[in-house]
Amino acid sequence: MELLEILLSASFWAAAIRIASPLIFATMGELICERAGVLNLGIEGIMVAGAFAGWIAVWAGLPLWGGVAVALLTGMAFGLVHSILSVPFGLSQHVVGVGITLLATSLTFYTYRVVLPEVSSPPKIEAFQAFEIPILSQIPIVGPAFFAQTPLTYAAFVVVIVTALVLYRTPLGLAVRAAGENPSAVAAQGLSVTAIRMGAVIVGSGLMAVGGAFLTMSAFDSFFFDMVNGRGWICIALVVFGAWKPGKALLGAILFAAFDAFQIRLQQTPVGAVVPYQVFLMMPYFLSILALVAMSRRAEVPAALMVPFNKGER
């Protein structure tokens, strides 16, 4: 009975959408990279860097949207490094990605200490506030859940729509998808596979960083070292879960977030008093693995994912 109550409450769904927002940004970023044929394991570190960069920029005096832009550019810079190593140099995408994650994470911590050498607890910023969309936010349950979020959450949904439109409805998106399926088909048309793949990695990395920035600028109002906490890796799984399709990946992100919001609430019920809380913490991951097994069996992986392209080689 209590379970049903949780599922029908507006606050539960509002929390789910809020938890999903950073995942949505970063999942779209990863999806764009992978559709072009590049696995971006730098995602975890880029999210950390984005979380820090957006927050510190606002702390230093920029407006909130200025902070988002700084996060975006920070992510794109790491994307540029990743893409130079993984695309024209054709290095192992696994090694490059893990390297970028380590680099971005450590560089972030270093910068934090350089900028704030004395503080024991990180300063707070004036974060994004919920913005109630007139009329729509008045709908019962759905209104407070979907239409009383922060502007950055709305932006996440816009990013999904734009990603889907560009990928499926424009010549550029077609070229990106073809670069991930058969790069020689792209090269045979006189298009540059290198430019397309690098562009996708740079844009995708920018979105990952905005996903990170959501944590410090919308979900919370400060920066902590372990706040990304594996969300990047979850996004990589969500791309697979979504079968490399933006709409399905969005559903996956919301589903995962709903599990997460659900377990938090479940901890406060009588059941939570008996079962150790670690079991609840584990639940979203456990259920995600089950969902992944069920959903991704028939998924069509981009055929050239993780295959470097060298012009002239066949």
Q: What residue ranges bind other proteins (CB under 8 A)?
A: 169-172, 174-175, 177-178, 181-182, 184-191, 300, 302-303, 311-312, 314
Nearer to other proteins, 49 or 164 (CB): 164
Assign 3-class secondary structure to the chain: CHHHHHHHCHHHHHHHHHHHHHHHHHHHHHHHHHHCCCCCCCHHHHHHHHHHHHHHHHHCCCCHHHHHHHHHHHHHHHHHHHHHHHCCCCCCHHHHHHHHHHHHHHHHHHHHHHHCCCCCCCCCCCCCCCCCCCCHHHCCCHHHHHCCCCHHHHHHHHHHHHHHHHHHHCHHHHHHHHHHHCHHHHHCCCCCHHHHHHHHHHHHHHHHHHHHHHHHHHHCCCCCCCCCCCHHHHHHHHHHHCCCCHHHHHHHHHHHHHHHHHHHHHHCCHHHHHCCHHHHHHHHHHHHHHHHHHHCCCCCCCCCCCCCCCCCCC
CB of 170 to other proteins, least distance (A): 6
Nearer to other proteins, 111 or 296 (CB): 296
Nearer to other proteins, 226 or 300 (CB): 300
CB of 107 to other proteins, least distance (A): 33
CB of 243 to other proteins, least distance (A): 11
CB of 28 to other proteins, least distance (A): 19
Nearer to other proteins, 297 or 314 (CB): 314
CB of 198 to other proteins, least distance (A): 14
CB of 29 to other proteins, least distance (A): 20
Nearer to other proteins, 115 or 303 (CB): 303
Nearer to other proteins, 196 or 209 (CB): 196
